[in-house]
Amino acid sequence: MSFLAFNSIKELSDKLGDGSLSPVELTGFFLERLKLHGPKLNAVVTIMENRAHKQAFKLKKELEKGKIRSPLHGIPYGGKDLLAAIGAPTSWGAAPYKDRVLKYDATVVSRLERAGAILSAKLAMIELAGGMGYRQPNASFTGPCKTPWNLNYWSGGSSSGSGSAVAAGLVPFAIGSETWGSILSPANNCGVSGLRPTYGRVSRYGAMALSWTLDKLGPLCQTAEDCGLILEAISGFDPHDPSTTRRKYKFETVQKDFRVALIKGNMIGADELSNKNFEKSLKIIEKFAIVDEITFPEFPYEAVTRMILNAEAASAFEDFIDEGLSHQLTASEDRYNGYSRLTVLAKDYLRALRLRGKMVKIAEEIMQSYDAVLAPTSKRTAAPINQEFRRNAPTTPSIDITGSVGNGAGLPSISVPAGFSEEGLPTCIQFMGKAYDENIIISLAVEYQKRTDWHKKHPKEFE
């Protein structure tokens, strides 16, 4: 059965559909992998055996009667442990909340259940999704999460377990969240496909809030196509989350003459091998898209997004800090970093929100002739598990345009594997699109994956 571990959702769905596999067998298979490999990676918080078995039996009976809810019918998955779910604690990765139980399902969890997916585990994450400004992999009460490609290196964060568990084949897909980099970072370090949807595309009801105007939920999967299938199941208006759009989303690939923009100087500060792998990817992309170089004008992109994040995080965790709970967090810097944010002035926060209006228009104007901006997902491979990841950061100062503009303007982005370093660590590329253009960027990623096999490579230890 081990061949199932890295099957795409489409492949698993076909097997479930033709009766060669049942939801009960498939769920049992992944639960065993979660138990066997989860602890090695520090990727799992809670295995939800009872809930998963109950759901699997119900879905098996439905299948026997010919009822198929969606392509996700009978597919197990894991959720980042900031999603409320009946049947397990919701820890937010933070020691003070490790036994806290929320007795309801987040909208994402209930929508996936409606689609027939089976919640099998709550996955590890950086404490409070990095809301206290962590600087090291060891910033979760479950310990530092590892990339399955090399257990001495970090999985990325804050959706650490979501990236690691998918890469190790412990679940076919996982849900993560991103405020600034938290889906794309683990997608990069673990070498899986990860989609950050447009802000407001997916309801955050029942998910921990870090920054109300920046937080997004999205999938991490084996393939870009799988990301589209999951987005279709979890997107849509939700009266419980006023940020959700009423625009409907249906996944379909798009055939067109693609135009992709490359930000001038975007590899400044990248290590040699990431640079080399990016150049190779570029040559492949030029076979199905026109690639032009563009320049973003001078603008305090990072300062705008950082100010918004810091101000909103300060408010989201004010009571937590007041009660002294931050002193129980794992990373030493997380115990005091939150205090400084309590001094962000209202006038600065509002100025950042006003400048955001200018920033979104700059992005829209620059990107209007293009289907996507192409960039490395990260300029560096995963950092060692035992050191501050800033030490691994680019030494040449460079602006994180895709991170600051992408998150500040609420734009979607998809990251896909694009090579390996000498240590066997993945390097990835991202396609960042215009708001609500998920189908375009997924299609670009699908075209890339048709011509490469990086997404079909899996860590030997977990095969």
Partner 1 sequence: MLGSKEKIVENLSNLIFESYGSRLTEKEKEEIRKSIEQTFENSVKLHQISLENGDEPFSVFIPYRKEKN
Under the rule (CB under 8 A), what is the footprint of partner 1? 133, 213, 239, 242, 299-300, 303-304, 306-307, 310, 321, 324, 327, 333, 335-337, 339-345, 348, 350-358, 360
Q: What is the DSSP string of 361-373?
A: HHHHHHHTT-SEE
Spatial CB neighbours of 326, under 8 Å, sequence gap ≥ 6: 132, 317, 320, 334, 335, 336, 338, 339
CB-wise, 298 or 422, nearer to partner 1?
A: 298
CB-wise, 289 or 409, nearer to partner 1?
A: 409
Q: What 3-state DSSP class applies to 336?
A: coil
In the complex, least distance from residue 410 CB atom to partner 1, rounded to whole angstroms: 10
Catalytic residue among 22, 110, 140, 158: 158
In the complex, least distance from residue 375 CB atom to partner 1, rounded to whole angstroms: 22
CB-wise, 163 or 410, nearer to partner 1?
A: 410
Spatial CB neighbours of 336, under 8 Å, sequence gap ≥ 6: 326
Distance in angstroms (rounded) separating the CA atoms of residues 182 and 172: 19
Active site residue 80: yes
Distance in angstroms (rounded) separating the CA atoms of residues 270 and 396: 8
Q: Determine contact, residues 193/415, Cβ cutoff 8 Å.
A: yes
Would strands 150-154 and 216-221 be described as parallel, antiparallel, or unpaired? Answer: unpaired
In the complex, least distance from residue 249 CB atom to partner 1, rounded to whole angstroms: 21
Distance in angstroms (rounded) separating the CA atoms of residues 408 and 31: 37
Which one, of 138, 166, 286, 153, lies nearest residue 230 by Cα?
Answer: 166
Distance in angstroms (rounded) separating the CA atoms of residues 440 and 444: 6
In the complex, least distance from residue 306 CB atom to partner 1, rounded to whole angstroms: 6
In the complex, least distance from residue 214 CB atom to partner 1, rounded to whole angstroms: 11
Catalytic residue among 120, 155, 182, 281: 182
Distance in angstroms (rounded) separating the CA atoms of residues 34 and 30: 6
Active site residue 2: no
For residue 257, give Cα distances in angstroms to 165, 369, 435.
Answer: 35, 12, 19
Distance in angstroms (rounded) separating the CA atoms of residues 438 and 242: 21
In the complex, least distance from residue 426 CB atom to partner 1, rounded to whole angstroms: 31
CB-wise, 5 or 399, nearer to partner 1?
A: 399
In the complex, least distance from residue 236 CB atom to partner 1, rounded to whole angstroms: 15
CB-wise, 31 or 128, nearer to partner 1?
A: 128
CB-wise, 290 or 350, nearer to partner 1?
A: 350
Q: Determine contact, residues 31/47, Cβ cutoff 8 Å.
A: yes
CB-wise, 57 or 299, nearer to partner 1?
A: 299
Phi and psi at residue 254, in whole multiples of 5°? -115, 135
Catalytic residue among 8, 13, 22, 80: 80
Which one, of 315, 286, 233, lies nearest residue 448 by Cα?
Answer: 286
Which one, of 196, 263, 267, lies nearest residue 413 by Cα?
Answer: 196
CB-wise, 122 or 356, nearer to partner 1?
A: 356
Task: Please give, one letter per residue, the 3-state secondary structure of 66-82.
Answer: CCCCCCCCCCEEEEECC
In the complex, least distance from residue 314 CB atom to partner 1, rounded to whole angstroms: 10
Q: Determine contact, residues 149/163, Cβ cutoff 8 Å.
A: no
* H or E, element range at 347: helix 346-367
User: Residues with catalytic annotation?
Assistant: 80, 158, 182
